[in-house]
Every structure is written in structure tokens, then in C-alpha cells.
Amino acid sequence: MTIRELVFATGNQDKMREIREILKDLGIPVHSQGELGIDIDVEENGTTFAENALIKAKAIAAVCGKPTLADDSGLVVDYLDGAPGVYSARYLGRDTNYDIKNQYIIDQLADAKGEERSARFVCAIALAIPMEDGTIRTWTTEGVMEGQIGYKIAGANGFGYDPIFYLPQYGMTSAEISPEQKNSISHRGQALVKIEQVIRELVAETAESAADTEEQQADEDGSQNHRTYRILVVSDTHGKTANLTNVVAKIGEIDMLLHLGDVEGDEDYIRSLVSCPVHMVKGNCDTFTKLPATEVVDLGEHRIFMAHGHRHGVQYGPEEIAEAARDNYCDVAFYGHTHEPKMDRLSDVIIANPGSLSLPRQDSHRPTFLIFEIDRKGEMHFVWNSISPDGEKIMQEPV
């Protein structure tokens, strides 16, 4: 069974960072359902965490047709007879701020002492894989983190109920310990490690045939590097999508599309062009848009900083955007704005501009784009391309 990518049934970016960090050794891209444009409300009507995780995983897998992970987790407080339990997200109302929820639980335990304050985080992870015969195979794992309810809200590293979940072994709440410490003991971390093993075993089922295929491909093209990611990077289309449509039709399969701003209202059309995840940021000409000004994309061991660049002074040099990339722990920064393909390396950060597909300003005046690849060794490859004047040919563009 070949698993080339995974979808996680969540739109919570805090959760996605935690998930990607724990599953990074798989070497498989993990997308959120939001990145694939899946916006459906799945009714979680199960009576256990595992049932709810299965409901979500199967529903999203049926929509996207890809291997899908989903979790259901919550806080179980013994003094409250197991509440909030499977209703943790909906406790006191789904839209109720967690500061209010946390203080309410503390107040409910005002008379509880010592072991009476025992509690645990429970997480169930479900994996759902659509099969060729139309069925969906499923697996589930579970993790538990034991602790107590603290006497006050404390910490800013976590989310949800973390600030009241006290860990006696650390003398702190799970919102006060470092992300690395939390990942090593957390309920979600335990469940993800178990599901990671399930995925490795599934991948191993077809490892021999996959190895044969890779060896044959290596013999054919003389290359020992087999791509893990192939990403189309574009910028500054300025409401003119003909060249982008042409490029997508000609370059073959891609794993992701990155647009670095000045989309000018074509967000929905651009997403409809491809079946892979699409990330876009806001440019200086994107006046009426909900796109973010910057975005960070995790790709295995590499971390990509996206920005249009006009707020980082890229017209004067790459130093400011390189610093922004470092501040976000990124080793690559992509930007647009100047309409010229360019690449710089400043110490530990690579800074690259794909150029413009609509209004190129470099000497050749050909519309340009970038193909960014990461091979199985983790090595990055940057190939700039341009479109011939008649629109029929894609050729490499010297940078």
C-alpha cells in the first residue's frame, strides 16, 4: 500500500504544527483539510474518542480520496465524573473562550484536594484509507497523559485545557513546559507515535515493489534522487491567469502550489486549477482579500517562509526577509514583488523569487516561475523556467 501523502482532519494550525513535528520522520507531507479546500462540518456523535476520530477520518477520506488521519481528544476529570470527556470542545458551548472553560473547571474543583484532582488527557487517532474497491480501511490508536487539575491558569505554550493541566513530575502545567517536552509525553504524541508505526507497517507491505520501481526509474534517467516534493512557486499574476493555466497544464504532477501575492481576486480560480494544496499570501495590490500577509509551510526537515516582500524591503535587498525567515525558524524564504527571478543565500537561509507570470521585468522579459523540489535525501533543487512568446514551450530561465 503506497502512502505518498496524508490529510489530517483539522483546521487547527496549533495542532498541525504539533502533528507535523511528531510525524516528520515519516518523510510524508501532511496537509490539513483546510489546505485542500475541504470545508465540511462532520457531526461527532460517537460515545468514545475512538468513535469520533473514526467518524471524522472516514468522512474526510471519502471526500478527498486520500489517506486521512483524524483525532478526537479531551480532558477527563475524575472529580467531574469524567467530564468534559468527549464533549471537551463543546463544553459550555463550542464558541466559549477557553479561559472561561478553564476557570469554570477550577471553580468546580474548589473543594477537591490531592488525588481528588486527578485528571487525564486522552487522544484517539484514526487512520482511514480509501481502497480501489470503494471500501475504506481503518485503524485506531490511543494515548493517555495523566495529571491533575491545577489551582490556577498558567502557561502560554499550549492551547485548550493545557493551562490548567498540572504535571506533578514537572511542577508545571502542560502549557508551561516546552513543546519538545510536551511532544515526548503528550496523549496526542503517544497516539501519533503508534499510528506512525501503523503507517510504516502499511508502507512496508509494498516496499519491495516500490524499490523495484525506483531502481528501474534510476536506470532510465540515471538519477539516484527520487523526489519527495515537487512544488510550483509563482508570483505577481495580477489578475491575469492565462499563463498560470498554461503552466499548470504543461508541467505535470505537482505536490503543492505556492503563490507569493498580487493575486488580485483570482484565489478561487487558482485553487480550482490544481488538486494539490495551495498556499497564497497577500501582495501590495491585493486590497480586498482575506489572504494572510505571511505564511510558513513545513516540508519535512525544511521550513518555508512565504511573503510578498513589499513589507520586507526586498526591492533594496534580501536581508530583511532573511531575518523574518530566521525569526520563524525557516531555512527558505520565497518572495515576489520585484517581478524578477532571483536567488540569494544569506548564511543559513536561501531567498528566492520566482519572477512574474504576467509582468516580467528581467532582461529576457519572459514570464517566469520556479519549480522547487526536495528529494529523498532532503536536498533542495531550484529550477527557474520561462514561457516562450508563443506560449508553446517551457524552457529553463538562467538566474
At position 146, the amino acid (one-letter code) is E
Q: Which residues contact 315 (CB under 8 A, 6 or more apart)?
A: 309, 337, 338
Q: Where does 353-393 have alpha helices with state H?
A: none
Phi, psi of 174, rounded to the nearest 5 degrees: -75, -5
Q: Contact at 8 Å (CB) between 357 and 247?
A: yes
Q: Could you tell me how far CA 55 lies from the centroid of its own chain?
A: 21
Question: Residue 177 gets which letter from DSSP?
Answer: S
Helix 187-204 vs helix 13-23: crossing angle, to nearest 10: 50
286 is known as an active-site residue: no
Q: Which residues contact 25 (CB under 8 A, 6 or more apart)?
A: 196
Q: Contact at 8 Å (CB) between 336 and 359?
A: no
Cα 114 to Cα 111, 118, 163: the distances in Å are 10, 8, 18
CA dihedral (72, 78, 81, 85) in degrees, to 10, reads: -10
Pairing of strands 332-334, 302-307: parallel
Return the closest-CA partner of residue 270 out of 292, 239, 307, 299.
239
Question: Residue 203 gets which letter from DSSP?
Answer: H
Burial of 269 (0-12, 13-18, 19+ CB in 10 A): middle
Residues, the chain: 399
Cα 363 to Cα 235, 308, 360, 368, 379: the distances in Å are 18, 22, 9, 12, 30
Question: Which three-class secondary structure state does DSSP give residue 133?
Answer: coil
Which position among 25, 39, 41, 72 bears the catalytic label?
72
Residues taking part in catalysis: 72
